[in-house]
Amino acid sequence: MGYVFLAGAISVEVIATMSLRASEGFSKLGFSVVVVVGYIAAFTLLTLALQRDLPLGIAYGIWAAVGVAAVAILSVPIFGETLTTIQIGGLALVVAGVFALEAGGAH
């Protein structure tokens, strides 16, 4: 069940982060509300995941890496941003690092 809460935390954090960009410096109220509510929900869900015996290093690593990768990838079609080959390689290394952390940890 911890991983279900973690997946929810990641999803909400990605939505909040994308809304942060869309809020244009908190000048758009609707997106600004999504940012604040989203981050509160993300940390609440992350807390619930940790209460289900997920190790902090593993849970936070997955949360951060998947969140960074998802935001970077979604920013391309949504905001017209670009990713260079080096940036794509960096994202792959971040994700690989989290998998290594997960694989090497004892539960």
Residue range 10-67, pLDDT digits in tens:
999 999 999 999 999 999 999 999 999 999 999 999 999 999 988 898 899 899 999 9
Nearest to 53 by CA among 17, 2, 12: 2
Q: What is the pLDDT, as a whole number, of residue 105?
A: 67
User: What pLDDT, on the 0 to 100 scale, is given for residue 38?
Assistant: 98
- Residues of the domain holding 54: 2-104
**Among the listed residues 5, 24, 8, the one whose alpha carbon sits nearest the alpha carbon of residue 79:** 24
Q: What is the pLDDT of residue 107?
A: 53
Amino acid found at 88: I
What own/partner pairs with CB < 8 Å and gap ≥ 24 does 89-97 have? Answer: 94/65, 94/68, 94/69, 95/65, 95/66, 95/69, 97/61, 97/65
How many structural domains are present in the chain?
1
